[in-house]
Amino acid sequence: MSLPTRPTPTSTDPGAAAEARSGPERDHGGPDILCEDLVRIYSTDGVEVQALQGLNLRVDPGDVVALVGASGSGKSTLLNILSGLDKPTGGRALVSGVDLLSMTRQQRISYQRHVVGFVWQQTSRNLLPYLTAAENIALPLVISNRKHRQDRVDELLEVLDIADCRDRRPTQMSGGQQQRTAIAVALSNDPSVLLADEPTGELDDAMSAEVLEAMRDASTRLGVTVLIVTHDPTIADHVQRTVQIRDGRTSTEVLRHTEVDEHGREHLVAREFTVIDRAGRMQLPSGYVNQLDLRDRVRLELESDHVGVWPDEHSLARRGETDGDGDGRPANDIPPPGDAHPGDTHPPEEGSQHG
List all residues 6 or more positions away from 213 whose beta carbon is below 8 Å from its beta carbon: 238
Our finding on whether 53 is near ligand ATP (CB under 6 A) is: no
Q: Closest CB to ligand ATP among 71 and 304?
A: 71
Alpha-helix residue ranges (DSSP H) falling in 83-162: 105-114, 123-126, 133-143, 149-159
Our finding on whether 130 is near ligand ATP (CB under 6 A) is: no
Q: Closest CB to ligand ATP among 56 and 192?
A: 56
* Angle (nearest 5°) at CA 62 between 249 and 140: 95
Our finding on whether 69 is near ligand ATP (CB under 6 A) is: yes
Judged by CB under 6 A, the stretch of 64-72, 88-96, 171-179, 293-301 that binds ligand ATP is 64-72
Our finding on whether 42 is near ligand ATP (CB under 6 A) is: yes
Q: Burial, 272: exposed, middle or buried (Cβ in 10 Å; 0-12, 13-18, 19+)? A: middle
Our finding on whether 76 is near ligand ATP (CB under 6 A) is: yes
Our finding on whether 88 is near ligand ATP (CB under 6 A) is: no
Dist. CA 197–CA 122, nearest whole Å = 9
Nearest distance, CB of residue 254 and ligand ATP, angstroms: 18
Nearest distance, CB of residue 76 and ligand ATP, angstroms: 3
Q: Kindly state the number of chain residues that form the binding site for ligand ATP, as judged by CB under 6 A.
A: 12
Dist. CA 280–CA 154, nearest whole Å = 49
Our finding on whether 2 is near ligand ATP (CB under 6 A) is: no
Q: Which of 33, 34, 51, 66 binds ligand ATP (CB under 6 A)?
A: 51
Q: Which of 32, 55, 57, 73 binds ligand ATP (CB under 6 A)?
A: 73
Closest CA to 168 of 129, 124, 196, 141: 129
Q: Closest CB to ligand ATP among 69 and 337?
A: 69
φ, ψ dihedrals at 306, nearest 5°: -160, 175
CB 50 within 8 A of CB 248: yes
Nearest distance, CB of residue 271 and ligand ATP, angstroms: 24
Our finding on whether 77 is near ligand ATP (CB under 6 A) is: yes
Residue type at 40 in one-letter notation: R
Nearest distance, CB of residue 179 and ligand ATP, angstroms: 18
Our finding on whether 345 is near ligand ATP (CB under 6 A) is: no
Strands 307-311 and 116-119: what pairing?
A: unpaired
Nearest distance, CB of residue 142 and ligand ATP, angstroms: 32
Q: Closest CB to ligand ATP among 42 and 130?
A: 42
Our finding on whether 90 is near ligand ATP (CB under 6 A) is: no
Our finding on whether 283 is near ligand ATP (CB under 6 A) is: no
Our finding on whether 226 is near ligand ATP (CB under 6 A) is: no
Nearest distance, CB of residue 84 and ligand ATP, angstroms: 16
At residue 48, the 3 state secondary structure works out as strand
Q: Which of 4, 31, 54, 74 binds ligand ATP (CB under 6 A)?
A: 74
H or E stretch at 54: strand 47-59
Our finding on whether 44 is near ligand ATP (CB under 6 A) is: yes
Our finding on whether 75 is near ligand ATP (CB under 6 A) is: yes
Q: Which of 7, 12, 15, 49 binds ligand ATP (CB under 6 A)?
A: 49
Q: Burial, 51: exposed, middle or buried (Cβ in 10 Å; 0-12, 13-18, 19+)? A: buried
CB 248 within 8 A of CB 55: yes
Dist. CA 72–CA 351, nearest whole Å = 28
- Helices and strands counted in the chain (H then E): 10, 14
Binding residues for ligand ATP, rule: CB under 6 A, are 42, 44, 49, 51, 69, 71-77
